[in-house]
Amino acid sequence: MKSFRDSSGVIMVGKRPLRWYGRLAVQILIYFILIIIGFVYLEPIFEIIAKTFMSADDIIDPSTTWIPKKLSLDNLKIAADVLDIWPTLLATVLFSGAMAAAQTFVSALTGFALSRYKFKGKSIWMVMLVLTFIVPVPVLMIPRLMMFVTAQEATGIQMIGTVLPQGIMALLGQGVYSAVLILIFYTSFNMIPKVLDEAARIDGASMFKVFWFVVVRISASTILVVFLFSFVWNWNETYITGTFLRGHLPLLPGKLALFNSEFDSVVSAQGTAFRLNEAYKMAATLLSISPLLLMYAFVQRKFIEGIENTGITGE
Amino acid sequence: MARKNKAESEPKSLYRRRENIRGYVFMLPWIIGFVVFSLIPFIATIVLSFMNVSSTVEGYSITPAGFSNYYTAFFRNTEFVPALLSFLGMVIPYTFVIIVVSFIIAYLLNKIQLGRGLMRTIYFLPVIIMSGPVMSQILERADESVEAAQGMSGYEGVFILEMIRSYSPAVANFMEGVFDELTMILWFTGIPIVLFISALQRINHTLYEAAKIDQANEWQTLWKITIPMVKPTALVATIFTIAQLGTYDTSAIYNLIKTATGNTQSGFGFAATYSWIYCLVVLIVIGCSFLIFREREPRRRK
């Protein structure tokens, strides 16, 4: 653990250290600013939650902004119906999980190679790695799409509209923000002393054994962090998914994007005269972010430490 | 083991070759992926931007088109140039605001003891839930509520803003834009804040003590020690922010590329041109930020 010491120890104004009440005032001011900014961060989420549990009357009533007069689960039910929540949720979790597993595995391999071996052209590959992060994805998508369409026609295997293209790209280290994941592993592996590998090699371990039994075993927390990041990023990614999957697999963010039109079709099929109002949209948004919020509630500390201790910081 | 003994007794070149082979064995999947899915597509996009691509029954037919795609993009298509300009108009002020705000928040977070974990949890939260559809739902909601409440603009008659407007309407418009989408801008600060916090904690404590002995006050230490020390991190945070904004779903140019990609009949060549110009613009912006942080003091902050 890092020590959370105040970076300057005592807050100084002018030439003398402040007295206790001066320091207290400064601290209160800092808290005040931080809480205000924090509220701006959370305001949309608060509003989403508030609107979700409001009944139709409360939405129309201008005197209710935050706290519903009567708690109602109708919005949630209708939104869940429209999103087809259980199959969608299952598909999204499985999809993101599989992508994250593939990305984590290949990132660990690449990070290990970069951290442990001095090979020719290593610095060039490092530069290329960073460049893959900087270059915007749309510039790569058209040839990728053409490639997969051509491959599909050549082999006869259905590719567009399946998870295959993204799976292949994730397995070859070209998934969502793969470069960041690799850099996380790279720095984390750099912190493991090399004597450990050397000891294992003297005892006759092969390089794969060193990778698997020495380095990977120590890095459980890094692996978790990378997996979670990859999971979240794959979950929230819509552009690549939209291009390759084209809605053939029901995923939550994609469904949310289509919510307005789907809502109309479901509601008209039921024959009920619901008016599309904000509350339904908010309920749908809440449903699509709540799995992530739930996960974050359990592992937030790991997340933040993961980013903090990693190579994104620049060395 | 025999292999081991050999490696130690043989001259260094053999050891090096071994390191080479081993490194490449582990790198192989990534290298294949990089070449096939990043390097070739990148070059292909540049080539395709000079071509007409149409999809036919037996695959793609590609014919050279010279500069006609570029000509169309800049002079015939009425959407592209405005979309590009609005992207630039978004990315430059947003990045500036995001970096400054996240540095301030990180600096303040570093000064408190109690509840800093909770605060960081809150500030990092958007990173977890931020996706295109969620953002557009939230923005839509914000638009509706502002329009419902105040008619055209929410900042009509704010005294300070009017005062600034009388001097320079451009600055006032910029500030209005920033305040309009403050939440959205703040939601991009999650990772920069964490980066800045870890940079602040890595600054050697003795520097501050030395400054204090030399009678430097808090303000002077901020400018002479803290900011120069976090400058490299600011560069990383800037690149991260631009990359994030560049792949941000609701920007106009992004949608233009998306629809052009979706239009399989004639669109691929145009889509390649669009995305290549777009990529060039993003790279130029990143290059500029690189120069700003590398060469001299970040002048804009002063």
Q: In this model, does residue A217 exceed pLDDT 70?
A: yes
Q: What is the pLDDT of residue A312?
A: 52
| Nearest residue to A276 (alpha-carbon basis) of B249, B139, B144 | B144
Q: For residue B40, give the nearest of A5, A40, A143 by CB distance.
A: A143
pLDDT category at A183 given cuts 50, 70, 90 is confident
Residue contact A204–B4, C-beta within 8 A = yes
The full length of chain B comes to 302
Q: Does domain B76-301 have CATH number 3.40.47.10?
A: no
Q: What is the pLDDT of residue B130?
A: 78
Q: What is the pLDDT of residue A104?
A: 94
Name chain A contacts of B259, Cβ cutoff 8 Å: none
Q: What is the pLDDT of residue A7?
A: 47
Q: In this model, does residue A258 exceed pLDDT 70?
A: yes
**Residue in B30, B69, B282 to test binding to A, most A beta-carbons within 10 Å:** B30
Q: In this model, does residue A173 exceed pLDDT 60?
A: yes
β-sheet bridge partners, residue B61: B54
Q: What six digits make up the tokens of B192?
A: 């920069």
Q: In this model, does residue B167 exceed pLDDT 50?
A: yes
For range A35-47, the mean pLDDT: 84
pLDDT in tens, A262-308: 766 666 665 554 555 677 778 888 888 888 888 888 887 777 776 66
Q: What is the pLDDT of residue A4?
A: 41
pLDDT category at B302 given cuts 50, 70, 90 is very low
User: Out of A123-137, B73-87, B166-180, which region has the weakest mean confidence (pLDDT)?
Assistant: B166-180
Q: In this model, does residue B73 exceed pLDDT 60?
A: yes
Q: Where are the domains of chain A?
A: 12-74, 84-257
Q: What is the pLDDT of residue B231?
A: 86
pLDDT in tens, B257-295: 777 776 656 567 778 888 888 888 888 888 888 888 775
What was the ipTM of the complex prediction?
Answer: 0.79
Q: What is the pLDDT of residue B11?
A: 58
The Cα A144–Cα B41 span in angstroms is 6
Question: According to the per-residue pLDDT averaged within each range, which of A254-258, B27-31, B172-176 is highest?
Answer: B27-31
Name chain A contacts of B30, Cβ cutoff 8 Å: 106, 109-110, 172-173, 182
Region of A314 please: left (phi>0), alpha (psi -120 to 50) or beta. left
The residues, any chain, with a CB within 8 Å of residue A104's CB and separated by 6 or more, are A181, A223, A226, A227, A230
Q: What is the pLDDT of residue A94?
A: 93
Q: In this model, does residue B142 exceed pLDDT 70?
A: no
Q: What is the pLDDT of residue A273?
A: 46
Query: Does B130 lie at the interface with A, CB-CB under 8 angstroms?
Result: yes
User: Out of A216-220, B81-85, B180-184, B240-244, which region has the weakest mean confidence (pLDDT)?
Assistant: B180-184
pLDDT category at A225 given cuts 50, 70, 90 is confident
Residue contact B132–A140, C-beta within 8 A = no
Query: Does B208 lie at the interface with A, CB-CB under 8 angstroms?
Result: yes
Q: What is the pLDDT of residue A6?
A: 45
pLDDT category at A313 given cuts 50, 70, 90 is very low
Q: Return residues 232-251 of B near A (CB < 8 Å).
A: 232-233, 235-236, 239-240, 243, 246-247, 249
Q: Return residues 92-111 of B near A (CB < 8 Å).
A: 101, 105, 108-111
Name chain A contacts of B29, Cβ cutoff 8 Å: 106, 109-110, 171-173
Higher pLDDT pick, B72 / B233: B233
Q: What is the mean pLDDT of chain B?
A: 78
Query: Does A261 lie at the interface with B, CB-CB under 8 angstroms?
Result: no
Query: Does B140 lie at the interface with A, CB-CB under 8 angstroms?
Result: yes
pLDDT in tens, A50-92: 888 877 677 666 677 777 777 777 778 878 887 788 888 898 9
The residues, any chain, with a CB within 8 Å of residue B245's CB and separated by 6 or more, are B90, B91, B94, B95, B188, B251
The Cα B217–Cα A12 span in angstroms is 6
Phi, psi of B196 (to 5 degrees): -65, -40
Name chain B contacts of A104, Cβ cutoff 8 Å: none
Residue contact B218–A12, C-beta within 8 A = yes
Task: List every span in chain B annotated with CATH 1.10.3720.10.
Answer: 76-301
Q: What is the pTM of this model?
A: 0.82
pLDDT category at A107 given cuts 50, 70, 90 is very high
**Residue in B4, B6, B17, B27 to test binding to A, most A beta-carbons within 10 Å:** B27
Helix (H, G, I), strand (E, B) or coil at A273: coil
Q: In this model, does residue A18 exceed pLDDT 80?
A: no
Higher pLDDT pick, B9 / A119: A119
Q: Return residues 4-33 of A near B (CB < 8 Å).
A: 4-15, 27, 30-31, 33
User: Out of A206-220, A240-254, B4-18, which region has the weakest mean confidence (pLDDT)?
Assistant: B4-18
CATH class, domain A84-257, is mainly alpha
Q: What is the pLDDT of residue B119?
A: 83
Please report the sign of the dihedral spanned by the C-alpha atoms of residue A64, residue A66, residue A68, residue A72.
Answer: positive
For range A28-41, the mean pLDDT: 87
Query: Does A270 lie at the interface with B, CB-CB under 8 angstroms?
Result: no
pLDDT in tens, A128-163: 888 888 888 888 888 888 888 888 888 888 888 888
Question: According to the per-residue pLDDT averaged within each range, which of A102-116, A266-280, A296-310, B78-92 is highest?
Answer: A102-116
Higher pLDDT pick, B55 / B116: B116
Q: In this model, does residue B149 exceed pLDDT 70?
A: no
